[in-house]
Amino acid sequence: MAKELKNLTKRSDNYSQWYNELVVKADLAEQSAVRGCMVIKPYGYAIWEKMQRNLDDMFKETGHVNAYFPLLIPKSFLSREAEHVEGFAKECAVVTHYRLKNAPDGSGVVVDPAAKLEEELIIRPTSETIIWNTYKNWIQSYRDLPILCNQWANVFRWEMRTRLFLRTAEFLWQEGHTAHATREEAEEEALRMLHVYGEFAEKYMAVPVVKGIKSANERFAGALETYTIEAMMQDGKALQSGTSHFLGQNFAKAFDVQFVNKNNEMEYVWATSWGVSTRLMGALIMTHSDDNGLVLPPKLAPIQVVIIPIYKNEEQLEQINEKVDGIVKNLKALGISVKYDNADNKRPGFKFADYELKGVPVRLVMGGRDLENNTVEVMRRDTLEKSTVSCDNIEMYVKELLDEIQENIFRKALNYRDSRTISVDTYEEFKEKIEEGGFILAHWDGTPETEEKIKEETKATIRCIPLDRDKTPGKCMVTGKDSVCRVVFARSY
């Protein structure tokens, strides 16, 4: 096998470097000329498109519609909601001018000082402010509610340390922004979308997640409650993969959005917002992939099956082509995306390594002996196991195999997470165990101060208070004060 194609660092040698290399070598994304901004390459974008399509269907099934709001936000909007400005002002890209002109010395273009904006505009780091300013005009009465809008958009946060997909200055995401007549309805909505995210992560990405509530320290700037899905990567670190916020009436108050309720009284509107981003690509890559490259869940793989011929001469190739044409047709009829790669400018070994690197779930190889025996060699990417299978009804075999791979990689990731999730009762043991990575279930007294102390001393944060938590009370491992349940600690991305 053409291992030289990959030359991929092993996970055990340097997990971080393995990830960085894999993203580039598998043609998913690369750094651009603009600091912190990535180029999402066609193969990476094809995976993102599949994520988008499936999520979008799930949003629509739960009654949401798409809309589009402006990229730029007046600077003053950001400071309307006190906590929100604290959370986002530090990382904003600011537009101050609207025109360039030729440099007097002919060296290029310079900013035209005459074209200075009266009020600066910021590139949206998130859109609560501009959207609630818009909703003000859409909502007069309870009959105008609920509003269940989502937008697919780019956002920008000036991050100092960036990594492809995991933390980039510009990223792609969806942001849902809903408006409700009652507190209960908004709280239900925030939870509903958390479950949509959880289902998407587990059913499509095959990434098991812990659903839970963020502590006050980790809450979204402006939210009363932040729900999260947390996944575990193969280095034992947590990756926050999606959040859903119950915003209370904070943004309605900041933008004066009131409505006449059923009792004919004026009331502020209740809000939620929720989002997932291209960060999910990072979660997908780091959960399943191995030292040979990507491992993609069949439901999100741009190419689910690749077929490669091995032949001695043109005549044999023609026979294989003919046989494979029928298989391709039957696979496509089952809705399976298949690529037949009979390009003659690359050796089979090179192709094998390349499709392994790209994580194609199933590989079929047909050679001369297969022709004679009416068979094909099947390799599954998740286990790298090969078997020789009859061509009769091969399409149903492949279809079932794809389902089996989808389930297997989820099971594998779940077993891995469970094997690295432990309960700890003393802070001493916590400090020792956290060095090994993984999720630690421990008691905490519920105060931001204790959480902050733990973070400073161990770099671990509370990932969430799980929805399905063990509610046996105990004593905080740090302060010994009462604790109502165990929460999930981990180091994180």
- Return the structure tokens found at 453: 């102390």
Phi/psi of residue 41, nearest 5 degrees: -80, 165
Task: For residue 10, give the 3-state DSSP assignment.
Answer: coil
CB atoms within 10 A of CB 335: 8
Nearer to a copy of itself by Cβ, of 276 and 394: the residue is 276
Nearer to a copy of itself by Cβ, of 132 and 352: the residue is 132
Nearer to a copy of itself by Cβ, of 129 and 215: the residue is 129
- Which residues sit opposite 65 in a β-bridge? 149
String of DSSP letters for 334-360: TT--EEE---TTS-HHHHHHHHHHTT-
Angle value at C-alpha 275, between 270 and 278, nearest 5 degrees: 170
CB of 75 to a copy of itself, least distance (A): 6
- Which residues sit opposite 375 in a β-bridge? 390
Q: What is the 3-state secondary structure (H, E, C) of 243-286?
A: EEEEEECHHHHHCCCEEECCCCCEEECEEEEEEEECHHHHHHHH
Nearer to a copy of itself by Cβ, of 150 and 483: the residue is 150
Phi/psi of residue 11, nearest 5 degrees: -60, -40
Contacts with a copy of itself, residue ranges (CB under 8 A): 30, 32-34, 37-42, 45-46, 48-49, 65-79, 85, 89-102, 108-109, 111, 120-123, 130, 133-134, 137, 143, 149, 153-154, 156, 158, 170, 172, 345
Nearer to a copy of itself by Cβ, of 131 and 464: the residue is 131
Nearer to a copy of itself by Cβ, of 63 and 326: the residue is 63
Please name the residues in contact with 474: beta carbons below 8 A apart, sequence gap of 6 or more: 425, 443, 483, 486
What is the rounded CA–CA span in Å between residue 398 and residue 386? 13
CB of 346 to a copy of itself, least distance (A): 10
Q: Report the candidate in 45, 66, 60 with the shortest Cα–Cα distance to residue 196.
A: 60
CB of 183 to a copy of itself, least distance (A): 24
Nearer to a copy of itself by Cβ, of 78 and 221: the residue is 78
CB of 91 to a copy of itself, least distance (A): 7
Buried b vs exposed e over 352-376: b needs ≥16 C-beta within 10 Å? bbbbbbbbbbbbbbbbeebbeeebb
Nearer to a copy of itself by Cβ, of 122 and 305: the residue is 122
CB of 372 to a copy of itself, least distance (A): 34
Q: Report the candidate in 46, 50, 43 with the shortest Cα–Cα distance to residue 357.
A: 43
